[in-house]
Amino acid sequence: MRIAVGADHNGFDLKEVIREHLERLGHDVVDYGVKRDEDFDYPQVAEPVARAVASGEVDRAVLVCGTGLGMAIVANKVHGVRAAAVSDPYSAERAIRSNDAKVLCLGGLVTGRSLGPLLVDHWISGDFEGGNSGRKVARIIDLDDRERGHEEQRHR
């Protein structure tokens, strides 16, 4: 699987742990940065990573900031992307299986170095299950499409 990783300065250390873990598992990892010595705002990395997911350039992505929340907010602004900030294995698994969240967001200041790879493992091992969740995700997609239409109308 081709997986993007990205972080701001608060998520750098955990991003490196996740990147190395994914590479050991044999995934093709695309690192969107940040470098350790850079003071970087999370929107600067979350947007290009989310666009890579939306375009199909990568299959999935892991984003890391201080809490994971800022990355999730930004990534969810990109049309066609569903991102989930998670802190426990069950939520990580359900993010993909129930919500088809192709972007996993973690908190470098709140997620331990051993927990991060475990969360990624629970998320990466699953696929979207559809079923009742399919109906709910279809409603999310419909909302996303309607909001995009409203945005296009505002810019005319």
d(CA 55, CA 51): 6
From 4, 5, 17, 65, active-site residue: 65
Residue with the larger pLDDT of the pair 142 and 49: 49
Pick the CATH number of 2-129 from 1.10.3720.10, 3.40.1210.10, 3.40.50.300, 3.40.1400.10: 3.40.1400.10
Domain boundary assignment for the chain: 2-129
pTM: 0.92
The residues that bridge with 101 in the sheet, in sequence order, are none
pLDDT one-digit tens code per residue, 69-94: 999 999 999 999 999 999 999 999 99
Q: Among this protein's residues, is 105 annotated catalytic?
A: no
Which ranges of the chain does DSSP label H, i.e. alpha helix? 12-24, 42-55, 69-75, 89-97, 115-124, 132-154
pLDDT one-digit tens code per residue, 33-62: 887 767 789 999 999 999 999 999 999 999
Residue of 28, 27, 32, 24 lying closest to 5 (CA atoms): 32
